[in-house]
Amino acid sequence: MMKYTDLINENTEELAALDTIDASKLFSRGKAMDILAAAETLRYYAGAANKIHGETLKMSQELQAYTLREPVGVIGHIIPWNFPSIMFFTKVAPALAAGWTMIVKLAEQTPLSALHNAYFG
């Protein structure tokens, strides 16, 4: 996933151009903020991917808490049209880090950046 983040950073202009074409967003904002925020979201969850251990946690009260790593099913993501790159990675990155199977329903108005990211991923 870290290599995927590096690919996003290398192709920032191309991804910003896709969001500009699709969502009529400002190219400069997409390049300076949206794509970088999407890459940082992916980087965050890539760092968290190896921290899912399934251990019992010590609680401050007399409760028991633990993490259980077991697949429950398929995750469905619906991506809105207004922030296509950011919302794609906000929804997809945690599922990738946990190793889940997912179905992504893109907004019909803004599919280009997500399709581009799916191709690179």
**How do the domains of the chain map onto residue ranges?**
2-120
Please tell me the pTM assigned to this model: 0.79
User: What is the model's pLDDT at position 9?
Assistant: 92
| Single-letter residue type at 32 | A
Nearest 10 degrees: Cα torsion 73, 58, 94, 28: 160
- At residue 15, the pLDDT reads 92
What are 29's two structure tokens? 């904002």
pLDDT, one tens digit per residue, over 66-94 is 777 676 789 999 999 989 999 999 999 99
* Among the listed residues 54, 45, 58, the one whose alpha carbon sits nearest the alpha carbon of residue 93: 45
Assigned CATH class of 2-120 = alpha beta
